[in-house]
Amino acid sequence: MRICVILEGSYPYVTGGVSSWMHQYIQAMSQHEFVIWAIGANSEDRGKYKYTLPDNVVEVKEIFLNDALSLRFRSSKYKFTEKERAELCEFIRCGNPDWDTLFRIYHDKGVSPIAFLMSERFLEILTEICREEYPYAAFSDLFHTVRSMMLPVLYTIQSEVPKADVYHAIATGYAGILARLGSYKYNVPYMISEHGIYTREREEEIIRAKWVLPAFKRFWVKFFYMLSAGAYAKATMITSLFERARLLQIDMGCEPSKCRYIVNGIHYDRFCDIPYKKPDGWVDIGAVLRIAPIKDVKTMIYAFADLKTRVPNARLHICGPEDDKDYARECYDLVKQLKISDVLFPGTVNVLEKMEEFDFTILTSISEGMPLSVLESFAAGRPCVTTDVGCCKELIGGMSGDGLGPAGLCVPPIHREAISGAMEYLCTHPEERYRMGLAGKERVKRYYLHKDMIRNYQDTYEEVMRRWQASDSV
């Protein structure tokens, strides 16, 4: 089978998280050919892969969203029909457009993405939106906001589509729309796998974002919900990582019969024999993550500053790449401003080697799915302090009836006092820390093995093909 995996802002440009998952996933399915359709933000990243691609990757297609903003206007003689105008109006309003109509205009017929965005009809729609929803906003601000939303989407759907037997988007958003485009062009199925709920993550980012004008934050949220709805609508199968996420997808409009969850899995044998740290007078806390706002490293730093006043022999290792360089710089500056000692930033590390230095780990994200870093920590016998996001509570406490007990502590997100208190408890209760580590190790061994995850996805591909062949789409 030739599988086109579509990823946004991850593999093969950054390490960790979804990228690490994807790399191991492709390697484990050596019987299949893979095409990587990668969506990046900045064309400066073209060809700058952080991974040596597996031998069964037969093609890579790259799309960079910033290239859309450099497109120049060229006049078009194409005359939009009333149906096309109506669907474009729905698109501009972030409603529920007919994506097949947009594909015919911008992919099949190759109409300039700017042709409509510079037309009188577009200005009429914007004027209506401004009067109805943003009467106190500057029209120029609305114009540039909408253009920066819509142009990258129209640009991406003009892309050359790599051929595949099935398209597999590892998120909704732009990736989900391209999966639907691949299905449209070659009349084959597509599926979506969400590690986190894409629209909820974008909504959280937009609420915090400084680059979005406050008046238009709601509009940006509607935009991402529109992309997800378009991706969900025609997918043959939609997977998530845990039951609560599956229910969220259904609540957002997915057909229940299409939705299932497949838990993450790790290579337990790589971690289970990592030796425990020898006592040296320090309690070492490890955070293995991308330094990015969604990981809320700043709250972790504030919480650790509080901890140091009570546990002076604590040490924090914040390990991982600078996913957001501006945010990383703010984190470094915060450590200096708070005058905290014993916060280390070793950068990207070999987790297998670095885990030997940790007594326990911490993750303070404001959004997660089923974090691999927590599973890896458990497999090494290290308990974890996590925030109550994604399925972290289930990972810490176990599914009902597993009888293993807690594998760490789970606290509310963005709650420095609770995070600090949880770290203090694990710092000062070494016997309980050891018992929790054993519970986590056994939990991963029972329920979160990589080979089981791969088998479940392989079964899903086969079911997707059966459903497609039995449907009216063929």
Residue 474 has pLDDT above 60, yes or no: no
Mean pLDDT of 52-65: 97
The reported pLDDT for the residue numbered 75 is 64
d(CA 349, CA 112): 45
| CB burial readout 247-261, b (16+ within 10 A) else e | ebbbeeebeeebbbb
What sign does the dihedral 114-198-258-12 (CA atoms) show?
positive
Mean pLDDT of 235-256: 94
The reported pLDDT for the residue numbered 16 is 83
Packing angle of the helix pair 430-447, 372-379 (nearest 10 deg): 110
Percentage of residues of the chain with pLDDT beyond 90: 85
Among all chains, which residue has been given the structure tokens 């409009």?
A: 253
Q: What is the pLDDT confidence band of residue 467, given thresholds at 50, 70 and 90?
A: very high
Residue 25 has pLDDT above 60, yes or no: yes
Residue among 33, 21, 1 at smallest CA distance from 461: 1
The reported pLDDT for the residue numbered 74 is 65
pTM of the model: 0.91
d(CA 291, CA 374): 16
CA dihedral 77, 81, 82, 83 (to 10 degrees): -130
Angle of CA points 209, 21, 156, to nearest 5°: 55
Sequence length of the chain is 474
Encoding tokens for residue 168?
Answer: 């597999």
Q: What is the pLDDT confidence band of residue 473, given thresholds at 50, 70 and 90?
A: low
Encoding tokens for residue 25?
Answer: 């996933």
Q: Tell me, letter by letter, the H, E, C secondary structure of the chain.
A: CEEEEEEECCCCCCCCHHHHHHHHHHHHCCCCEEEEEEEECCHHHCCCCCCCCCCCEEEEEEEEHHHHHHCCCCCCCCCCCHHHHHHHHHHHCCCCCCHHHHHHHHHHCCCCHHHHHCCHHHHHHHHHHHHHHCCCCCHHHHHHHHHHHHHHHHHHCCCCCCCCCEEEECCCHHHHHHHHHHHHHHCCCEEEECCCCHHHHHHHHHHHCCCCCHHHHHHHHHHHHHHHHHHHHHCCEEEECCHHHHHHHHHCCCCHHHEEECCCCECHHHHCCCCCCCCCCCEEEEEECCCCHHHCHHHHHHHHHHHHCCCCCEEEEEECCCCCHHHHHHHHHHHHHHCCCCEEEEECCCHHHHHHHCCEEEECCCCCCCCHHHHHHHHCCCCEEEECCCCHHHHHHCCCCCCCCCCEEEECCCCHHHHHHHHHHHHHCHHHHHHHHHHHHHHHHHHCEHHHHHHHHHHHHHHHHHHHHHCCCC
Mean pLDDT of 109-133: 88
Domains of the chain: 2-70+160-264+453-470 (3.40.50.2000), 82-145 (no CATH), 268-448 (3.40.50.2000)
d(CA 69, CA 154): 11
Mean pLDDT of 451-473: 93
Reported as a single tens digit per residue, the pLDDT across 219-245 is: 999 999 999 999 999 999 999 999 999
Among all chains, which residue has been given the structure tokens 């326990």?
A: 360
Cβ neighbours of residue 348 closer than 8 Å, sequence gap 6 or more: 15, 16, 319, 320, 321
> Lowest mean pLDDT: which of 117-131, 179-193, 374-388?
117-131
Q: What is the pLDDT confidence band of residue 73, given thresholds at 50, 70 and 90?
A: low
Residue 460 has pLDDT above 90, yes or no: yes
Mean pLDDT of the chain: 94
Mean pLDDT of 296-309: 97
Encoding tokens for residue 358?
Answer: 């940790």
